Structure formats: C-alpha cells, structure tokens
C-alpha cells in the first residue's frame, strides 16, 4: 500500500458508494429529491479502523451507534482524524438509552433517536440544561407494540410527544421505528408517517439494510444502514 492510501479491510467504501447511488435512484423514482434522504451509516460493533475508510474514501460523515460506552471509546479519535481532513462528523444514538447515561449521551451525540419514556425525557432535559448542548431528539415509536422492544406505543405517542414539549421542554424533531422482524415493514412505516403528520413532525428515521427501499417512498428522511455497508456482524 502506498503512502497516503487507506486500508479498507471490509471493502466498506465501495459498498457505501453503491448504496449511496441506490438510495439516490430510489428517491428519484419516487419523485423525491435524493438530498432529502440522509444515510446514517450504522457502525456499531465495527472498529475505528474498519469505519475509517468510509470517512476517508467514501466521504460519509453521519454515523449511528447503539451504545454510549462503545461510542465513547471509538468516536473522539475518529472525529479528531476526520478534523485533520477538514471533515465534521455527526453521530446519532440509535440504541436504547439509560437515564444514568443521559449526560454522556448529550455530550457525545449530535442526535438521540430513542427518546421513549418520561424518565428519559426528564434526564435529557436536565443533562442538556447542564451541558448547554441540545442534540436533535427523536421519539422512538414501537409500531408493532412488541413487549420486548423499546419505544413508546403508537396509542400513547401523541400524549408522550405533548409531554415532551409541554412538561419536559424538549423540542422533538423526528420519529424513529424498527418494524417487527418477520412482518411487512411498509405498514409500520406508514403508521409512523401518520403519527408524525398528526403531530407536525417532519423527520422520519426508518428503514434499515433489509427494508430501506420500502421506507423511502413512504417519506423516510433518514435510513439507518450498517451491514449493507460494513458486512455481516460476527
């Protein structure tokens, strides 16, 4: 490898380029502006060296992580390396948040997509006031009402969104969902869109490696894709 070249052990950079092109094509096919659909590259479980080629070669700047501690270990260094190239990275928390990690999450993440209960909303409000930093906030909706899964139930979403605003003083920018495995995803994406429209919310984080082409025509403004870029997780 010549000096200045970047090793890409997972072959992630070419897969990223192919995915970016596919998302743009899908958006145009739905009469949407490709720029209206943001790709969040889900880098959970992949090392900094495995992620780096998507930044240095692929130009990706927006990433998603599931765990505060993993992100805390990985991303300060990646951000410093990216800054040397004149790039600013954006990091989204897309996994469940514990209230005792709210302070660290506010300091580390630019967007938190898993606000799903009053205890978390209250903890985030306090952490943001203390840090003087306001990451973008999304409410996670458990569209399938699965008892084992995080997220506010669809029937409770309107009231919770109102409490976030009126009780906790939070500005909720978007909604996020993860449809149940083994079910058609489109009805869940459509439900999320209905809840968003009813509450005047513009941002919809929906669609992953296996179903993002279904999310784009239903209004996704973010798709969260990991394995299609970095390969199967071990």
Residue where the block lists tokens 């993993």: 70
Name 195's Cβ contacts closer than 8 Å, sequence gap at least 6: 141, 154, 157, 158, 175, 201
The string of pLDDT tens digits covering residues 36-72 is 999 999 999 999 999 999 999 999 999 999 999 999 9
Strand ranges (DSSP E) for 16-83? Answer: 38-42, 62-65
User: What are φ and ψ of residue 165, in 5° steps?
Assistant: -75, -50
Task: Find out whether 13 and 233 touch, Cβ atoms under 8 Å.
Answer: no
Per residue in 190-230, pLDDT (tens digit) is: 999 999 999 999 999 999 999 999 999 999 999 999 999 99
Which residues touch 50 (CB under 8 Å, ≥6 apart)? Answer: 9, 10, 12, 230
What are the structural domain ranges in the chain?
Answer: 12-230
Residues 6+ apart with CB under 8 A from 167: 118, 121
Provide the CATH number for the domain formed by 12-230 in this structure: 3.20.20.10
Token output for 52? 């780096």
């Amino acid at each position: 490898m010549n000096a200045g070249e970047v090793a890409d052990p997972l072959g992630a950079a070419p897969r990223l380029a192919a995915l970016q092109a596919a998302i743009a094509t899908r958006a145009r096919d739905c009469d949407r502006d490709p720029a209206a659909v943001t790709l969040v590259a889900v880098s959970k479980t992949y090392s900094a060296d495995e992620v780096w080629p998507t930044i240095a070669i692929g130009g990706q700047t927006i990433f998603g992580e599931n765990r505060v501690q993993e992100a805390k270990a990985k991303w300060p260094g990646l951000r410093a390396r990216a800054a040397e190239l004149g790039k600013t990275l954006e990091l989204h928390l897309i996994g469940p948040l514990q209230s005792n990690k709210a302070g660290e999450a506010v300091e580390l993440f630019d967007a938190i997509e898993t606000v799903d209960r009053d205890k978390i909303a209250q903890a985030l409000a306090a952490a943001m006031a203390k840090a003087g930093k306001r990451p973008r906030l999304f409410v996670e909706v458990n569209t399938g009402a699965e008892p084992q899964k995080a997220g506010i139930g669809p029937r409770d979403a309107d009231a919770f969104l109102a409490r976030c605003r009126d009780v906790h003083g939070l500005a909720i920018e978007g909604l996020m969902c993860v449809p149940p495995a083994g079910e058609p995803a489109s009805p869940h994406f459509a439900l999320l869109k209905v809840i968003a429209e009813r509450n005047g919310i513009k941002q919809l984080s929906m669609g992953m490696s296996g179903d993002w082409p279904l999310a784009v025509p239903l209004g996704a403004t973010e798709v969260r894709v990991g394995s299609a870029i970095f390969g199967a997780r071990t």
